[in-house]
């Protein structure tokens, strides 16, 4: 059995002390976690499999997990710039990317703001328009309290950062970002030339119809619809039944897409 290479570090990124991990060796694949999440809550199940063939770079984004906050709101643009700075810090000029949920929104911004960084991109369980999901989803942020946070995400945050105030701060900032969510227009999406794989669950936050729409508007995209709720196919913990991940075949699909 091969010993996995695994290192951690902190990078000085524009006022952040950004925590990151590097797993494995090979072509770099950057993983971008979802809102309210950490590296482990989104990708803890899949990293051991992906890192057998690739170098995995993952980070806790601003105010999430082990990365501190800065006196500014959360934004997908800022997260995109932070990741670009991290890769420069790590001397990685180009990589493949997988962004899950809010991480997929950040990946859209990387494609728009830093296109030279991207080889191929995977947008997983994400959306680019508010009409991707039901109005009640957006209305929920107007009255959201910490009680609505999945317990698995709370436990995952506090496991790596036991500061309850930091957890509440992250929750409040994530809610505010979603309250302020604005669509990307079709011209922006059409301008993304990198080969893209769009993945959606058939019972996801975003509708299948929206995933098809994203696929139609992105010129070099492929579309994959899988059974299940938000992120279960990559093993994101918040919606797994009894914590069990059963869709490990996604690893072969991801590797086939990146290798083709």
Confidence of residue 2 (pLDDT cuts 50, 70, 90): very low
Tell me, yes or no, whether 1 lies in a domain.
Answer: no
Instruction: Indicate yes or no: pTM above 0.75.
Output: yes
At 24-71, the pLDDT tens digits run 999 999 999 999 999 999 999 999 999 999 999 999 999 999 999 999
> 39-74: b or e for each residue (b if 16 or more CB lie within 10 Å)?
bbbbbbbbbebbbbbbbbbbbbbbbbbbbbeeeeeb
Tell me, yes or no, whether 18 lies in a domain.
Answer: yes
Contact 95, 54 (CB under 8 A): no
User: What is the tally of structural domains in the chain?
Assistant: 1
Mean pLDDT of 171-175: 97
At 219-236, the pLDDT tens digits run 999 999 999 999 999 999
From residue 46, how far is each of 62, 64, 106, 252 by CA, in Å?
A: 22, 19, 20, 11
Assign residue 117 a region: left if phi > 0, alpha if psi is -120 to 50, beta otherwise?
Answer: alpha
pLDDT at residue number 5:
62
pLDDT at residue number 4:
60
Range of the domain at 40: 6-259
**Average of per-residue pLDDT values in the chain:** 96
Assign residue 243 a region: left if phi > 0, alpha if psi is -120 to 50, beta otherwise?
Answer: left
| Domain of residue 138, CATH code | 3.40.50.1820
Tell me, yes or no, whether 53 lies in a domain.
Answer: yes
At 85-134, the pLDDT tens digits run 999 999 999 999 999 999 999 999 999 999 999 999 999 999 999 999 99
> Does the pLDDT value for residue 3 go beyond 60?
no
> Does the pLDDT value for residue 154 go beyond 90?
yes
Tell me, yes or no, whether 108 lies in a domain.
Answer: yes
pLDDT at residue number 1:
35
From residue 118, how far is each of 2, 98, 109, 183 by CA, in Å?
A: 29, 10, 11, 22
Confidence of residue 6 (pLDDT cuts 50, 70, 90): confident
Mean pLDDT of 176-190: 97
């Amino acid at each position: 059995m091969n010993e996995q290479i695994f290192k951690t570090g902190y990078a000085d990124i524009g006022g952040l002390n950004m925590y990151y991990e590097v797993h494995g060796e090979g072509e770099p694949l950057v993983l971008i976690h979802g809102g309210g999440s950490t590296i482990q809550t989104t990708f803890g199940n899949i990293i051991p499999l992906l890192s057998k063939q690739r170098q995995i770079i993952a980070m806790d984004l601003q105010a999430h997990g082990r990365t501190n906050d800065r006196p500014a709101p959360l934004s997908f643009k800022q997260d995109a710039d932070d990741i670009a700075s991290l890769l420069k810090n790590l001397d990685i000029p180009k990589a493949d990317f997988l962004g899950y949920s809010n991480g997929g929104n950040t990946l859209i911004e990387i494609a728009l703001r830093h296109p030279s960084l991207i080889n191929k991109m995977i947008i997983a369980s994400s959306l680019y328009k508010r009409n991707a999901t039901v109005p009640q989803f957006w209305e929920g942020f107007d009255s959201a309290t910490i009680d609505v946070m999945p317990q698995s995400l709370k436990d995952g945050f506090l496991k790596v950062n036991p500061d309850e105030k930091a957890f509440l701060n992250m929750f409040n900032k994530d809610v505010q970002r979603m309250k302020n969510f604005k669509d990307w227009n079709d011209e922006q999406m059409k301008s993304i030339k990198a080969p893209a794989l769009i993945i959606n669950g058939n019972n996801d936050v975003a509708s299948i119809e929206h995933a098809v729409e994203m696929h139609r508007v992105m010129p070099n995209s492929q579309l994959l619809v899988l059974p299940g709720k938000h992120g279960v196919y990559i093993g994101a913990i918040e919606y797994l039944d009894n914590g069990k991940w059963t869709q490990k075949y996604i690893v072969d699909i991801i590797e086939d897409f990146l290798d083709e």
